[in-house]
Amino acid sequence: MVEGGFTKLFQKRSFFHFAQKYQSLGSGEPEEETHEECELKIVEQEKEVTVLPPKDACKCHKEDLAKALKVDLQTGLSEFSVLQRRLKHGWNEFSVENTEPIWKKYLDQFKNPLILLLLASALVSVITKEFEDAASIAMAVLIVVTVAFIQEYRSEKSLEELNKLVPPECHCLREGKLQHLLARELVPGDIIYLSVGDRVPADLRLIEVTDLLVDESSFTGEAEPCNKTDGVLLEAGDITTLSNVVFMGTLVRYGKGKGVVIGTGENSQFGEVFKMMQAEETPKTPLQKSMDRLGKQLTLFSFGIIGLIMLLGWLQGKHLLSMFTIGVSLAVAAIPEGLPIVVTVTLVLGILRMAKKRVIVKKLPIVETLGCCNVICSDKTGTLTANEMTVTRLVTSDGFQAEVSGVGYNGEGNVYLLPSKEILKEFSNVSVGKLVEAGCVVNNAIIRKNSVMGQPTEGALIALAMKMELADIKDIYVRKKEIPFSSEQKWMAVKCALKNEDQEDIYFMKGAFEEVIRYCTLYNSGGISLSLTPQQKAFYQQEEKQMGSSGLRVLALASGPELGKLTFLGLVGIIDPPRAGVREAVQVLFESGVSVKMITGDALETAVAIGQNIGLCNGKLKAMSGEELDQLAEAELSSTVKNVSIFFRTSPKHKLKIIKALQRAGAVVAMTGDGVNDAVALKSADIGIAMGQAGTDVSKEAANMILVDDDFSTVMNAIEEGKGIFYNIKNFVRFQLSTSISALSLITLSTVLNLPNPLNAMQILWINIIMDGPPAQSLGVEPVDRDTIKQPPRRITDSILSKSLILKIFMSAIIIISGTLFVFWKENPKSGITPRTTTMTFTCFVFFDLFNALTCRSQTKMIFEIGFFRNRMFLYSVLGSFLGQLAVIYVPPLQKIFQTENLGVLDLLFLTGLASSVFIVSEFVKLCEKRCCRRPKHTKGCHN
């Protein structure tokens, strides 16, 4: 109600604002009436705005387009127009229609063959007038089905949550201001700005372009990017020929552009693709597949044993219906149908926990791979470093040097001429002024509220101009052309002319020193251009090397009338300080057997300075350049790259080469990056990790994982979580298999030895609820142990069922079987089996199960080390199961269903003491393993 009221108030205020615009001059009517008329008029106009099909939009002139969509191309839509259009066109997103109602999903659970067999058993009980048995079986079936439904429903809901974690974003012009919005907020008529690396947020008709290339392979299958224009098309063919339209979901590979939204959500071209996508099922993860295989193998084994039990029972003359009901109940309990579901739930809950730690995982299999990762190839800029570039040093072409104070993009600080420490402003020193001017003009960044919109390097140059009081100097120029930066050419240039002056055009260029100097024939000396000599070039090269060796990123700047005849202006040294926590994260990863390699386009000196600062390879650095990589043969490269910790002066193809070489050498590689130039490597790596804030849409699309805060140290948290999830699944598997084996063996032994059945069908089904229900589920959410990160990466081929785990499963099963059979033998009077006998045996088995779950919380750590209260869900689950068991024993209606009777306090104490043996023995085995493992550790020394 409050929200609705606020919206109405906002709309009303907006109406009054617009009414003032439309108020006719000299009108004698009351103001309120004029407002109301304008209000209705504007609403009607907004209702007339429709989505333009691409084939119609491509033929429209800009003016016709603006008229059709009722938008000012210079200022964009108003907030009021946006609200009205959203009411008609909805959000720019695809609604996932859940065609299957919840009641149908619940009824689908009854299609399980084992459940149908149990219901058949209940029907036979009704026919034979054993109504109590029929009611008991029906109630058990309801409980089992409800538990299975809740598990699956929870898994689906968790997966739906994952789809909301990565919202696409865009730059939109509204009310004359460039805003950073979520793509879902767009409506037809919005003005969108596109730049390199952006994902197109809606279908757009382009109105301005600068060398725009768009990857439309998602629609056309063409690998080559399409060249886009803003001109009018005379004829419209298929979508591949619409050169002035870009489609939602495509990627900007080069250049930049501006366009008007003509289609959103399901009215876009992507809408059709989305509908086809809905029909596709998400593939299962390798771990899920292995759990499915394990489940099928155990199912076949269980059916064989159950068939044998039923045959032996029948031959021994036992009641056939009773043996059938017990056989089916045993099948429900022994067959681990919950394994794949629990694996999915555990993986998904792990992903949601990672999201809270500001790490978004896009695909389930990546969670498994994280625990196997043994090499991280990290991009330097924006990942290992803060990506808040700050200019700290200037060297002009005529030898002046200056240092700059202040950090970040707030413009605070000064430029000091060395060695006099004179504070420079504007053109008080012509050479420094011209250098700063060039950096400000050849620039696309905007600084707003102390944050940069654009590239951080360009933001640093704008911040420098702010310190020199030259930030507005770019406004005296009109930009005529731009040659955008690319990782191949390593420079950017703009062609400009002075406003209101009839002078020749001037080029400004910035980029890597070795590239910019190739276009220069002159150098600036106090405002005069002189011929560039080899001695001057050698001096600049020496200065560039010296700045680079102190960890600075060096940019060269030049200007002139032609690209081949530029005047060299000087060098700018920019520092990108390492992120807080990176050094500690690199150290912890190194100690746990994960090697971190830095890949950068920077020079050797800059790369080594940063590498030493963050403690790469404990300071024992080995570096290799992109050129050296090109000279190595494939076989030689695989053996060499393992020992290299820094790769400098690399291009995208080098990054790909490094990753492929490491993978051939048997490494599981994670690659972090944020730029367009990282996209190919991110896709090729076993784990592609993009940056959430500085990362381009291309890199986010190519990656499997996104670091929301761009913080490298959260990679450590992700690896820790990945390892922890795998161990949690192992804990669950141990608990479930030891319980399955115990239940099967108990009935098998009693049948083979011609003893009465120690458990009835209802009791077996109750055990199944504990085995597949909350206590088992809670093992999957055990908090990650702090020492997990110190464990070495596991091999990707390692099975969950290791020899050690199999031995522990059988050890637990033998203790449970022995203890339960002992109680059954002790409580079995000569006169025959009684309700007390089955109650004691049944309660003994359940208590064994709960103590077994307690010790399964960790395979290596004792309960006192991990703490009793750390996993609260487990405590509540065990407490609930214990209270449920007491209810089964003491509540009269449940006594009838489960055929139990009251037990004394001493009976419960005796059973608790006996059942705790499985916990005590398992904890003792952990203690022995610890002591045995401790000795070799000292003899081998530190091995990582």
Instruction: Give the ranges where 335-422 is alpha helix by DSSP (H).
Output: 339-356, 365-370
- In order of 236, 242, 257, 286, the CA distances from 220 in angstroms are 16, 12, 21, 31
Closest to 783 in 3D by CA, of 842, 736, 728: 728
Q: 317-353: buried (b, 16+ CB within 10 Å) or exposed (e) per residue?
A: ebeeebbbbbbbbbbbbbbbbbbbbbbbbbbbbbbeb
What 8-state DSSP symbol labels residue 577?
Answer: P
CA distance 544 to 556: 9
Q: Three-state DSSP class for 553?
A: strand
CA 668, distance to chain mean position in Å, is 18
Residue 591 neighbours by CB under 8 Å, 6+ apart: 790, 944
CA distance 315 to 501: 110
Closest to 680 in 3D by CA, of 666, 664, 693, 696: 696
Sign of CA dihedral 53, 55, 59, 62: positive
Is there a catalytic annotation at residue 379?
Answer: yes
- In order of 137, 318, 379, 759, the CA distances from 124 in angstroms are 11, 17, 68, 20
Q: Do the beta carbons of residue 518 and residue 534 sit within 8 Å? A: no
Q: Do the beta carbons of residue 288 and residue 725 sit within 8 Å? A: no
Pairing of strands 169-174, 177-182: antiparallel
Q: Which residues pair with 482 in a beta bridge?
A: 494
Q: Do the beta carbons of residue 269 and residue 219 sit within 8 Å? A: yes
CA distance 691 to 166: 12
Helix (H) / strand (E) element for 359: namely strand 359-361
Q: Do the beta carbons of residue 186 and residue 192 sit within 8 Å? A: yes
Q: What is the 3-state composition of the chain as percent helix, strand, coil, each rounded to the nearest 5? A: 55, 15, 30
Q: Three-state DSSP class for 695?
A: coil
- In order of 98, 130, 432, 460, the CA distances from 417 in angstroms are 67, 101, 9, 19
Catalytic residue among 190, 203, 379, 674: 379
Helix (H) / strand (E) element for 452: namely strand 451-453
Catalytic sites, residue numbers: 379
